[in-house]
Amino acid sequence: MIVGTAVVTAKGAERWKQGHPWIYRSDVAEEPGKEPGIIRVTDRKGRFLGQALYSPKSEIRLRLLSRSDAPVDAAWWGERISAAASRRTGIEASAWRAVHAEGDSLPSLVVDRYGPWVVAQLLSAGLERSRDDVVAGIRAALAPDGILLRNDAGVRRHEGLPLDVVLAYGAVPETVEVEEAGVRYLAAPWSGQKTGAFLDQRENRALVARHTRPGGRALDLFTYHGSFALHLARPAALVVAVDQSAEALARGADNARLNGISNIAWREANAFDLLRELEQRKERFDTIVLDPPAFAKTKDTLPRAVAGYKEINLRAMRILTREGVLFTCSCSYHVSRDVFMAMLADAARDSGRRLQLVAVCGAAGDHPEIVNVPETGYLKGALLRAID
């Protein structure tokens, strides 16, 4: 149902022309009213530009849904979700992202599959109004046994929306066993990070596993539930998996048992302190993974965040064996790829090591970025090898 019409400035119209789905508050000349929902959008001459999700309280006022005036109903959502899901092919895992919001032209909608279940997120006020149609669309496209809405993501605050977790259809269990390239782990749809697991690192886990030295020593810092550690444990002789959360480590140990893996040492520690200690003790590792939480939550904290990334990367570089590999990444949206690569170069210079760039990494292919919409990219990483 259309709840009104918005008129946008020439600058606003130009954004859509250039393929960016967002129009900000300052480029809306006439607001459609106070109700969020799906609206018609025209330019100042009254020319129809498309239909959008309208968020009356957010700086991002309009998100382009469709350039046509055909109704955006349950059938429309079903077709779009189905098209996004069918772009995903050859994924070697039972949990994967079927819809990556703006990255799939379905702004503010995330749909993740965990086997027969779906965990979705409705991240804008306009979308929230279409909840019934979206849920019907997910059912039509993916035929799940249950749909859980993890609507507890902080970004909903900018939209004036409540944070909650609701079952929208069927039933969804507390834990789901996921299989990923021969490794099994438990995801927690109701309470785990994001929609229950970090699906975006799936391809990077496989990449690091391929570069892990057989019979060597591996270190997985910021391990959470051990998802990298589990993949490293097969080739490596020993994996030290580190997190400051004892609860996260306990889940990691459960995951290891599930796979019959017994060569992971779970260590509760602050990664910064531990790296300093390992360096002082002259310990060496053949494979190191650095997957920290977002250090830069806002633009203002960027310099401090970059200093933090540099510190852990520098120390990790120093404790790599010759020919050892380091997988390092940042999921801070405010740390651009350029800033990240410059930080690595800086750390490499100070480390005195020569580090080869083996691969430039991002989020897995089921979390696509749009080239002309930089906001769709947040995860950047690199695989480095110390060659002297």
313 makes contact with ligand SAH (CB under 6 A)? no
Asked if residues 181 and 203 have their Cβ atoms less than 8 Å apart, the reply is no
42 makes contact with ligand SAH (CB under 6 A)? no
Helix or strand or coil: residue 278? helix
Please, which residue, 64 or 242, has the CB nearer to ligand SAH? 242
Asked if residues 147 and 169 have their Cβ atoms less than 8 Å apart, the reply is yes
Please, which residue, 133 or 291, has the CB nearer to ligand SAH? 291
77 makes contact with ligand SAH (CB under 6 A)? no
Catalytic, 329? Answer no
Please, which residue, 151 or 223, has the CB nearer to ligand SAH? 223
Residues 147-206 that bind ligand SAH (CB under 6 A): 198, 201
Please, which residue, 223 or 328, has the CB nearer to ligand SAH? 223
Helix or strand or coil: residue 293? coil
Which of 128, 203, 291, 366 lies at the binding interface for ligand SAH (CB under 6 A)? 291
Please, which residue, 58 or 121, has the CB nearer to ligand SAH? 121
Token pair 């589990």 is found at 230
What's the rounded Cα separation, in Å, for the pair 125 and 62? 10
Q: Kindly tell me the number of DSSP H helices and DSSP E strands found in the chain.
A: 10, 20
Of the candidates 122, 209, 271, 331, the residue annotated as catalytic is 331
Report the DSSP beta bridge partners of residue 239.
218, 264
259 makes contact with ligand SAH (CB under 6 A)? no
117 makes contact with ligand SAH (CB under 6 A)? no
How many positions of this chain bind ligand SAH (CB under 6 A)?
18
What's the rounded Cα separation, in Å, for the pair 116 and 302? 40
Which of 223, 313, 330, 376 lies at the binding interface for ligand SAH (CB under 6 A)? 223
Of 262, 275, 367, the closest CA to residue 328 belongs to 275
333 makes contact with ligand SAH (CB under 6 A)? no
Stretch near ligand SAH under the rule CB under 6 A, chosen from 114-122, 176-184, 237-245, 352-360: 237-245
**Angle between the N-to-C axes of helices 271-280 and 302-318, in degrees from 0 to 180, rounded to the nearest 10:** 30
110 CB neighbour count, 10 Å cutoff: 22
What's the rounded Cα separation, in Å, for the pair 68 and 151? 29
As annotated, the active-site residues are 331
Interface residue list for ligand SAH (CB under 6 A) = 198, 201, 222-225, 227-228, 242-245, 248, 270-272, 291, 293
